[in-house]
Amino acid sequence: MRTIVTGASGLLGRHVAEALLAAGHDVLGIDTVAPGRGAWRHATADLTDLGSALQLVRDCDAVMHVAAIPRPTGRAGGEVFRTNVATAYNVVEAAAMAGVGRFVYASSFSVLGYPFFERRVIPPYLPVDLNHPVGAQDPYGLSKWLGEEIVDAAVRRGAFSAVSIRMPWIQTPQSFFADVGPRRATADSARDLWAYLDARDAGQGFLQALEWQGDGHLRVLLGAADTFMEEETEALVRRFYPGVALSRSIAGFGSMLSTVHARETLGFVPEHSWRSYPKPETKG
């Protein structure tokens, strides 16, 4: 299948492109920079420009829209919002005009309000699932929610079928201990609901979304099977979210993101855990 991956030079986009290639798909990656490595075809473009999107998003069967500024920190909020919403709109419109059959959108569990809230979000219950109300407060989470709605509008008018994938913090064996290690030592780790997703599992999730046999607009929540913490989950909930009910008992280090719906619809089962990542060598 001829497939376009926007943002293919980034961490998530690279793993999506690699998963598609491994499954035998023809991949064109579009990004503002060339990939450091990768066997897929590449085009350099700024997709906030509608003309560039219309020129490049064509002659394909499916689009994986991953390109975005991935967090609201380190840049002006207006830039994050403007870039992400404009890119989503342009790529959706280009895909609709190209007559693609399937559109897969990289959303975020930040649409629920985590982890970038200013006014604390208390989950109505745990683990979180798709019945959790949307509650974005920050420009990134808001941009991702509006991206889902842009996709939904295109589906309503019959442009294509689509899957929006809500994900937590994407990690790899190379990034985990440097990125997550310092945060899990602080109370801010509770903002993440201690959730993460291995980039390889994310890539498989996108592949499964491409292969989904349904119609309409499916929204799913992906995550690792465990938390990124060394303390058991129920103890964490009692300490950081006292009074929040558990909808089911959580054994050991079980995740606070429910992927039951993703398993039932896409067949998604996370295979990778940070607990099997090689630990970095300590310098003597």
Q: Compute the distance between CA of residue 74 and CA of residue 119 in angstroms, rounded to an integer.
A: 20
* Mean pLDDT within 268-280: 96
Residue range 103-126, pLDDT digits in tens: 999 999 999 999 999 999 999 999
* Mean pLDDT within 225-252: 97
pLDDT of residue 94: 98
**DSSP codes of every residue in 159-208:** S-EEEEEE--EEE-TTTHHHHHHHHTTSGGGGGGTT-EEEHHHHHHHHHH
Handedness of CA 180, 183, 185, 191 (dihedral sign): negative
Res 284 pLDDT > 70 = no
Q: pLDDT exceeding 70 applies to what percent of the chain?
A: 99
Res 27 pLDDT > 80 = yes
Phi-psi region of 227 (alpha: psi -120 to 50; beta: other; left: phi over 0): beta
Q: Which pTM was predicted?
A: 0.97
Res 56 pLDDT > 70 = yes
pLDDT of residue 38: 84
Q: Compute the distance between CA of residue 273 and CA of residue 15 in angstroms, rounded to an integer.
A: 16
* Cβ atoms of residues 151 and 105 within 8 Å: yes
Q: Which of 87-96, 114-123, 216-225, 274-283 has the lowest mean pLDDT?
A: 274-283
Residue range 125-176, pLDDT digits in tens: 999 999 999 999 999 999 999 999 999 999 999 999 999 999 999 999 999 9
Q: Is residue 56 helix, strand or coil?
A: helix
